[in-house]
Amino acid sequence: MDRRRFLSYLALATPAAAAAQRISAVRPPQAARVEKCTPRSTPRLVLNHLGFLPRGKKVLIVRAPAPSDASGCNLRDIGHLSKPTVLRPEKVTSDLGDCLVANLDLEKEGLYQVTLGEECSVPFFVRPDVWRRTLPKAIDYFKFQRCGMEVPNFHSACHLDDARRRDTGEHVDVTGGWHDAGDLRKPMYSTMLIGIGLLQLARNLGGDWDQAGSGLERLHDEVRWGNRYFLKMQDSDGLIWRDTACDEAGQIDNHWTDNRADNSDDRYINVQKPAQTSAIFVVLQAMVASALRKSDPPYAKRCLAAAVRCWNASKRAGDLYDLSWWALAGLEMHRATRRVEYAEAARSLGTELVSLQNRSFIGSQRIIRGFWYTSGADSTPATHWGFAALPSLVLLELSEVFSDHPDAGRWRDAVRLHLDQYVVPMTSRCAYRIVPFGVFTGLPTPEHYRPLAGELTYRYFMPVRKELWWVGLNSHLQGYALALEMAARAFNRNGYRELAYRQLEWIMGANPFGACLMTGEGLRNPYPYSRFVGQVPGGIINGIGGNTQDEPVLDTECVLDWRTGEYWSPHNAFYVWALSLLEAPPAQG
């Protein structure tokens, strides 16, 4: 059994307080001018470690204090050593622990800190670029994960012998791409999200995405690197192979090789062709074709031809998330070609998505509705580790591009229903305002499900007794941040935007562990499950998961549990996609 499989059996079933990181703290430079700060293994003062936009909402959460503890809660500008402002947090009954909550009334730019007795919060900025300044680091992470080349200070040229077909043993050149996570595997569905995220960043912010002036060339160069591998993974029939080097049938391919083909350390291509993988491939190739049409017409033409072959070879059916990706594929093909058949397919699939929405109160309750069903044949409420917000995202895209279509109003109404009568009520149950993993009917597995009303239950985190594979939910939260910002723009609702930022703030430290989940930002960063190269600046780990009681758990003890601590491509991909839209100027007209 390899180490990753062994670690998957390690229990993370202790309550959050018992799993908290044990660290020491350094007294701030201005300690002579402020109260003495005593370090806490699990902080009571939690907020976004990056800081806040000057005109944005600023939330401080004080975890589990005695009623008298908040009387000494002070805010000061530590850059100017100003006189402290007394805060009056209000008590809130909340899932994940009752607490006190304060809205910080700040617009003046500066570096601030909150103190409560002898405890100090993380110092935090109020400035316009608190989020934007993280983008270069998040994007550099992808370069550090390149496979097939030397990455100085991380690894030498690797896997130049990738790979053999697992079915026939034939060697096929599939070098290139990115290592997907804290390992050396190259699954298609997740690493293609990197290319989509980078191109969405380019679409939203253009060449101004980097304040240092890197321009679009930096983004397009990274996309080309990954696409070198993706194009090689298209079979002669037009469909897309599943992955390279992902374990199967007892074969462990997660290793370095000698870079010489046709010997015992060769890795393998798994040649299954999942429909969703093909759909994501079409989305990406169509986006590449649109982005590079003017700067590199031959390459754009090649990518579009690959997308057309895959589209023509595919059956565009499946569950909620398959249909969502195919609808987005049709939309991107329409953008790349302006051909009517792609537009018609995208619109038809969008209307099919609407048919999968729950529009009435079910389960003997009248609290929520508007969630999605798994498929036309399966009325189980849909859940997904990262794509839960995808139907809303797709419907908003369709309603913007095809605003004069007869179903555009239905698409928009479906999103409003999902957000107003599912997302907002569910996020209101927790002081952190995060979107739970999902709702359920009854108790699907032998573990705790929080009662909602009637027959419905919910969990903030993935069930841990359904199957061995479960992970923290950073992609889930970032996907909702993206959809909420799209909705804020579509419906002129700033409340959606505030809720979008709360999803990202959880990742950046406003969580029960006070831990920033991006390496190189904030404090209390868990050591990542990254067995081959160690820490990678800008990498985002899987994030906080739950135990059998749906209590938050996070590997803060360096046991290298991959389920909460592993780097993974989708997290950085969704981060740059969501943040680029939040940072984009308002649409004109």
Distances (CA, A) of 127 to 50, 79, 470, 506, 530: 10, 13, 37, 19, 33
Collapsing DSSP to helix, strand or coil, 260 comes out as coil
pLDDT means over runs of 10, the chain (589 residues): 42 37 31 42 92 97 76 89 89 94 95 94 97 97 98 96 97 98 97 98 96 93 98 98 87 92 95 98 98 98 98 96 98 98 98 97 97 97 98 98 98 98 98 98 97 98 95 98 98 98 98 97 97 97 98 95 97 98 85
CB-based contact 504:521 (threshold 8 Å)? no
Q: What are the beta bridge partners of residue 378?
A: 375
The dihedral built from the CA positions of residue 385, 389, 393 and 394, taken in this order, carries a sign that is positive
Residue in this structure with the two tokens 């990706």, named with its chain if needed: 325
Candidates 479, 475, 447, 469; CA nearest to 562 is: 469
Distance CA(442)–CA(438), nearest Å, equals 12
Taking the C-alpha atoms of residue 468 and residue 563, their distance in angstroms, rounded to an integer, is 10
What pLDDT is attached to residue 12?
Answer: 40
> How far, in Å, are 175, 320, 399 from residue 344 at the CA level?
36, 19, 13
Q: Which two tokens stand for residue 535?
A: 């820490």
As given in the structure block, the two tokens for residue 300 are 């754009």
- Continuous H helices in 59-187: 135-144
Give backbone dihedrals phi and psi of 186, rounded to 5 degrees, phi first. Answer: -135, 65
Alpha-carbon gap, residue 161 to 106, rounded angstroms:
56
Q: How far apart are CA 422 and CA 411, in angstroms?
A: 16
CB atoms within 10 A of CB 22: 9
Contact in structure between 139 and 576 (CB atoms under 8 Å): yes
Measured CA to CA, the distance from residue 98 to residue 549 in angstroms comes to 16
Residue by residue, DSSP assigns 207-234 as GGGSTT--HHHHHHHHHHHHHHHHHHTB
Query: Same CATH fold, 132-583 and 31-126?
Result: no
Residue 459 DSSP symbol: E
For the beta carbon of residue 80, count every other beta carbon within 10 angstroms.
10
Q: Distance between CA atoms of 220 and 371, rounded to whole angstroms?
A: 36
Report the distance separating Cα 375 and Cα 356, nearest Å: 7
Note the maximum CA span of the chain. Answer: 73
**Beta-strand relationship, 456-459 and 450-453:** antiparallel
| Model pTM score | 0.92
Lookup result for tokens 């036309």: 376
Query: Which DSSP letter does residue 76 get?
Result: E
For residue 494, give both structure tokens.
């700033």
Three-state SS string over 388-412 comes to CCHHHHHHHHHHHHCCCCCCHHHHH
Q: Rounded distance, CA 149 to CA 6, Å?
A: 30
Query: For residue 363, is it left (φ>0), alpha (ψ between -120 and 50) or beta?
Result: left
Q: What is the model's pLDDT at position 69? A: 63
Pairwise CA distance, residues 409 & 427, whole Å = 26
Pick from 363, 351, 431, 588: nearest CA to 63: 431
Residue (of 376, 316, 319) closest to 348 by Cα position: 316
Tell me which fold the domain 132-583 belongs to. Answer: Glycosyltransferase (1.50.10)
Class of domain 31-126: mainly beta
Q: What is the pLDDT of residue 252?
A: 83
The CA distance from 301 to 319, in Å, is 31
Domain boundaries, the chain: 31-126, 132-583
DSSP letter (8 states) at residue 133: G
